[in-house]
Every structure is written in structure tokens, then in C-alpha cells.
Amino acid sequence: MLQQRTIKSLTRAVGVGLHSGQRVELTLRPAPPDTGIVFRRVDLPQPVDIPVKAEAVCDTRLASTLSPGGDPGAPKVHTVEHLMSACAGLGLDNLYIDITAEEVPILDGSAAAFVYLLQSAGIELQKAPKRFLRVLKPVEVREGEGPNLKWARLEPFHGYKLAFEIDFHHPAVDQTGQRVEFDFSTGQYKRDISRARTFGFTKDVEMMRSRGLGLGGSMDNAIVVDDYRVLNGDGLRYDDEFVKHKILDAIGDLYVVGHPLLAAYSAYKSGHALNNKLLRALMADASTWEIATFEDKAQAPKGMAELAPAW
């Protein structure tokens, strides 16, 4: 039987929120089978649980934000996608995430620090079948037309692979790879995807800060690009780091559905909003998906049964 996973012991991180600039403490704790991933705002007079589900996403401007049931007036947790991406990359099903502010710390701007934290806590197999969400029919969402067109699609596939293409018309970005594919059966999430950092353009920084966003951003936790070039002294971690970060985000955005996917995802200029729209379109039509388990590990797609190696 392919089993569910949690962590063996609790682990902690301290950092700042990318947009809020607030100091935040994160405590990751083991959770029983079939719990799913649950954020808990422990800074409130009465702690509030925010279970991760597609319908819990209440805001997708510049990040994925969750609240109980997606209620925009309820307590929130912002910028969950990098931590969710790490959980997906390590195949974690059940986790409690205690948080002392309303935004997940940005750490180094990638998912690598979260992968390190989770693996250092140890990964434990649980006595319950791992439940996958298997896509049965193609589902697609599109926005805009002509040069403004963007789209995202899920199609049936025995495994999980993603393909993403960006188009920024920017000298520094255009010199790098614009399209990347990642297949969980042949690639290694930790090595190939997790280190890709979020990025921002200097021309957008003043506008964002005037709106109270990006207050915790710096070259320590983002790739910063002016009109022509990357400003970070150490350059890029991958030749195609920009588009790899979009894949990292997509893995996290899609994992809010509550189960690992068996699907092929492809996208052109998609982002948090369109990724969530795609999940909602999928969940709204019960004929497009089913829950699948694997009693025999040999029946599972390659790469789904192996535990990620410890550091």
C-alpha cells in the first residue's frame, strides 16, 4: 500500500513576511492520517484553524492567501505557495503549521529552506492509504486574447508532470529559458525546482510598497531585476530560474486541492489566480476527477512511492 506521510518531530523557522515585513515564527508539527495540511493562527486570542483546500483560497494577488472556507473577512494566512510546494515535493499529506502572524516567512524566496526544515524533522509513513486526486478529463481555463492571452490546463496522466512557459519581453529574462518541463517520475524536486527564487522588477517596487506590499523583500529573498539585468551579485541559481520559480509556485498553488495530483499540468503566463481558477473548475465538475489509492506500490506511477532522501 502506498502510505500517507507526515513529519517525525516538530521543527521551527523564524523569518519575515515578503509583503508585510513582519517577523513571524512557524512551527511545523506532525498530524494524524487524513488530517491534511492545516495552518493555525496561534497569535490570535482564540487560535483559528485554516485547513488547506481549493475553496479556502480567498485572495490571489501576488500570492495565494487562505482563510477558513475562503471567507474574505476571516483570519488569513498569506503567501502559502512556497511552503505548500515543498510539502508537495516531499509528498507530505498531513501537517499542522502554527504561525504567529498572517504571512508565511519568505526565508530565501524559494522552497529550499522549507524542504530542509521538513527533511530535518524526518518523514514518517503512516498507516493509511495515500489518496491522490486523479484527473479524468481535460480541464482548461483561459483569460485575455492576443498578446494578453494566458491559460492553464490539467489533463489525464499516470503520474504528475508540469510544463510552463513565460513571456516577459525583458532583456534579462529573455536571455534565460522561457519554458520548462518537470516530471516527478524522472526529476528531483529538491535539486531541480526547490531552489528557484521569487523575482521582482525595480520598476514595480515603488508601486507595490505604496500599496503596503513587498515590505520584506530584499536581495536576500528575491531575484531583483532592473530594466536590463539581474542586480543580485551572485546571479541566478539556475539558467532558467525565472520560469522554474513559476513551476515551483504552480506546484504549491495546485497542492491546495488537498491531495497530490495524478495529472499533466501545462500553462502559459499563468499565475496564482489562474491556477486557483483551474482547480475550482476541476472541482466543480465531479466527472473530471476521482480519488485514487494504490494497494500495490507497483501500480503507482514511478517516483510516487519513493521517500525523498534525507539531507
| Catalytic residue IDs | 272
Residue that has been written with the C-alpha cell 489509492 in this structure: 293
What's the alpha-carbon Rg for the chain, to the nearest Å?
18
Strand partners, 72: none
Which residues pair with residue 154 across a beta bridge? 139, 265
CA-wise closest residue to 88 among 197, 182, 200, 180: 182
**Residue 22 CA from chain centroid, whole number:** 21
Helix ranges (DSSP H) in 21-179: 81-90, 112-121, 171-174
Closest CA to 222 of 82, 36, 74, 48: 82
Residue with cell 508565511: 104
Please, are residues 272 and 62 in contact by the beta-carbon 8 Å criterion?
yes
Give just the sign of the alpha carbon dihedral 158, 311, 232, 239: negative
What is the number of H-type helices and E-type strands within the chain? 7, 18
